[in-house]
């Protein structure tokens, strides 16, 4: 990653992303890696991309169930489809996390889209306590900090999540 900061504007605002483009990129990335980007994974990813705040697994489950119920109303009663179960959502989230398409916010157990999923990076998540928006901020100094800490302590990190809660610029003003 370059020394230039990758600063993603509020990841929680749907207009920050071209949802169709992000989904197409995810599909292409999965094809290149020999991974399956199933309809359910796509649906979970779409909900996260379109959300105005971070979504938890049960928020996603509720959205998927609502879509399922709406589609059932338009289909004949003879075509019965299974309802969406929590393990389906959890497996989809796990896939999207491993593929690097989303991030998990540990403190609130919720998910946000990754601003630049094709680039390895560390990020700080700035979480507004008032409006719920989350901003992903990446900079080369974060990786340097982790490397210095690793070298100084001998600790080998497998995962790091930096979350800062406070007030965003809009709510602070």
Instruction: Give the sign of the dihedral formed by CA 41, CA 42, CA 48, CA 51.
Output: negative
Consecutive H or E run containing 113 = strand 110-113
Q: Is 30 marked as a binding-site residue?
A: no
Quick count: other Cβ atoms within 10 Å of Cβ 104?
18
- First CA to last CA distance, the chain: 33
68 SS3 class: helix
Q: Is 115 marked as a binding-site residue?
A: no
**Binding site as annotated, residues for Zn(2+):** 128, 131, 168, 171
**Binding site as annotated, residues:** 128, 131, 168, 171
């Amino acid at each position: 990653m370059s020394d230039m900061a990758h600063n993603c504007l509020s990841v929680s605002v749907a207009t920050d992303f071209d949802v169709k483009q992000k989904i197409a990129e995810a599909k292409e990335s999965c094809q290149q890696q020999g991974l399956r980007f199933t309809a359910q994974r796509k649906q979970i990813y779409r909900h996260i991309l379109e959300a105005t705040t971070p979504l938890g697994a049960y928020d996603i489950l509720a959205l998927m169930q609502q879509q399922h119920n709406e589609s059932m109303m338009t289909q004949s009663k003879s075509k019965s489809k299974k309802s969406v179960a929590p393990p389906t959502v959890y497996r989809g989230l796990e896939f999207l996390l491993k593929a690097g398409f989303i991030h998990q916010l540990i403190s609130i157990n919720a998910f946000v889209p990754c601003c630049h999923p094709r680039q390895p990076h560390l990020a700080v998540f700035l979480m507004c306590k008032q409006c719920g928006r989350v901003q992903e901020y990446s900079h080369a100094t974060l990786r340097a900090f982790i490397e210095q800490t690793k070298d100084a302590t001998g600790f080998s990190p497998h995962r790091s999540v930096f979350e800062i809660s406070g007030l965003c610029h809009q709510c602070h003003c």
